[in-house]
Amino acid sequence: LQNARSLDSYWMPFTANRQFKAAPRLLASAQGMHYATEDGRKVIDGTAGLWCVNAGHGRQPITQAVERQLATLDYAPSFQMGHPIAFDFAERLAAIAPGEGAGKLDRIFFTGSGSESVDTALKIAIAYQRAIGQGTRTRLIGRERGYHGVGFGGITVGGLVNNRRVFPLLPGADHLRHTHDLERNAFSKGQPDHGAELADDLERLVALHGAETIAAVIVEPMAGSTGVLVPPKGYLERLREIATRHGILLIFDEVITGFGRLGTPFASEYFGVMPDLMTTAKGITNGTIPMGAVFAARKVHDALMNGPEATIELFHGYTYSGHPVACAAGLATLDIYAGEGLLTRVQALAPLWEEALHALRGVPHVIDIRTIGLVAGIELASRPGAVGARAYEAFVDCFEKGLLIRVTGDVIALSPPLICEPSQIEEMVSLLRGALERLA
């Protein structure tokens, strides 16, 4: 059995510690803020699974809604057909969608994951440009150190250099310079003060390629998976202004930031900047049944459907778009979020969070700490020639002592469920401190 769960097994998780040749650590059950391992150890979930279990684990209303839905209507196609619960769920999402009037992001397209949401949003952007007579606008702009999942659309606009090297990409794409170097090791709380002018890099790309070739620019309002990179004050505002001026759609990838992570339902509200399209997944069903959704501004939706050059032959949709069981899980999730005030709860937790995390300043090897909402990135100095080794050791040590963290390179990311209690914040930071202090 042990062997069957080693690296050399029938299951092929590409992402399982190949760099360090370690078998996956096994999680057997979960409840509230905790996982339990196969040997019965409790591990506090410092990462909400993979940034997705916002309401904590094992929520009964979701389980019950899923069971009921499976028994009532387990599957229904969304080609030529519909089912009531998809309409209900879209309406509930529209009710919390950010934006006003024609800019309100209340037209919802369901997908099965974050990567599908990204592919869908990129396609909507190109199809929208075509529909309004801008058919030359097919180029997509992403950002270095962005992460947008692993579809070909996502890796094209994403910033993972190895993926871009190995695979052929969508033609013509280009990338904004990332925002990190400027504020490196600044121990900034919330948004860094300097660096808004980095958004002007979009002007460089417009000058280089011509605005008439560019459909959309996609960024995470806060880049999570590549190391918790927080945009400088004014950066997103400037990006919005430049995109609008050149007829370029702005897409926010809120797969991580959506559903309360920063203390507002969506990050666009936190930053006060509205995109034209927003991608979501993860927290939409509390990480339970796989699902994603693209939120489109009404004006984008209307032009896409009815613009002068709109093409009715456009084909896009998934077998699992608006899956009834996922919709049921999503509705129950929204009920929990609303009933427990989870989409804004982080506002009350953030000061304590910030204080607890920044108290790690001065611990050996810690060269930066970045906090925003209920997210933290703790950056460690890399050992020469062994990028990622130090953070990986911290991960192993933390897990053995009862804390699940996420590491990317030598950045440790923390993003616990939004139900987290203040005492659990203290506990997580104390466990992390212990592991950091033991690091060579």
* Bridge-based pairing state of the strands 27-31 and 174-176: unpaired
C-alpha span between 411 and 371 (Å, rounded): 13
Residues 301-320 that bind ligand PMP (CB under 6 A): none
Residue whose beta carbon is closest to ligand PMP: 114
Q: Taking a C-beta distance cutoff of 8 angstroms, is the pair 23, 49 a contact? A: no
Please tell me whether residue 114 binds ligand PMP under the rule CB under 6 A.
Answer: yes
Residues 244-273 that bind ligand PMP (CB under 6 A): 253, 255-256
C-alpha span between 35 and 396 (Å, rounded): 15
Q: Taking a C-beta distance cutoff of 8 angstroms, is the pair 412, 371 a contact? A: no
C-alpha span between 296 and 97 (Å, rounded): 10
Question: Taking CB under 6 A as the rule, which mask of x and - marks residues 176-215 in contact with ligand PMP?
Answer: ----------------------------------------
Q: Of 261 and 358, which CB lies nearer to ligand PMP in the complex structure?
A: 261
Among 47, 54, 113, 191, interactor with ligand PMP by CB under 6 A: 113
For the chain, how big is the Rg over CA atoms in Å?
21
Q: Of 62 and 256, which CB lies nearer to ligand PMP in the complex structure?
A: 256
Among 46, 49, 224, 373, interactor with ligand PMP by CB under 6 A: 224
Which span sits near ligand PMP by CB under 6 A: 13-21, 30-38, 111-119, 177-185?
111-119
DSSP labels, 175-240: EEPPSTGGGTT---BSS-SS-GGGGGHHHHHHHHH-GGGEEEEEE-SSB-TTT-BPPPTTHHHHHH
Shortest reach from residue 186's CB to ligand PMP, in Å: 23
Please tell me whether residue 281 binds ligand PMP under the rule CB under 6 A.
Answer: yes
Shortest reach from residue 7's CB to ligand PMP, in Å: 21
Please tell me whether residue 236 binds ligand PMP under the rule CB under 6 A.
Answer: no
C-alpha span between 45 and 33 (Å, rounded): 6
Q: Of 114 and 265, which CB lies nearer to ligand PMP in the complex structure?
A: 114
Q: Of 174 and 220, which CB lies nearer to ligand PMP in the complex structure?
A: 220
Q: Of 99 and 283, which CB lies nearer to ligand PMP in the complex structure?
A: 283
Shortest reach from residue 201's CB to ligand PMP, in Å: 20
Which amino acid belongs to residue 236? L
Shortest reach from residue 362's CB to ligand PMP, in Å: 30
Which amino acid belongs to residue 102? A
Among 89, 110, 128, 147, interactor with ligand PMP by CB under 6 A: 147
Among 57, 83, 143, 148, interactor with ligand PMP by CB under 6 A: 148
DSSP labels, 295-338: EE-HHHHHHHHHSTT--TT-----TTTT-HHHHHHHHHHHHHHH
Closest-CA residue to 334 (of 283, 261, 288, 373):
283
Q: Taking a C-beta distance cutoff of 8 angstroms, is the pair 259, 284 a contact? A: yes
Residue-wise over 163-193: b if at least 16 C-beta within 10 A, else e? bbeeeebeeebbbbbbbbeebeeebbbebbe
Closest-CA residue to 295 (of 112, 83, 118):
118
Shortest reach from residue 46's CB to ligand PMP, in Å: 16
Shortest reach from residue 417's CB to ligand PMP, in Å: 16
Q: Of 192 and 224, which CB lies nearer to ligand PMP in the complex structure?
A: 224
Please tell me whether residue 227 binds ligand PMP under the rule CB under 6 A.
Answer: no
Q: How many residues does the chain have?
A: 440
58 Rama class: left (phi>0) / alpha (psi -120 to 50) / beta: left
Which span sits near ligand PMP by CB under 6 A: 57-65, 68-76, 133-141, 217-225?
217-225
Size of the residue set binding ligand PMP (CB under 6 A): 14
Residues found near ligand PMP in the complex (CB under 6 A) = 113-115, 118, 147-149, 220, 224-225, 253, 255-256, 281
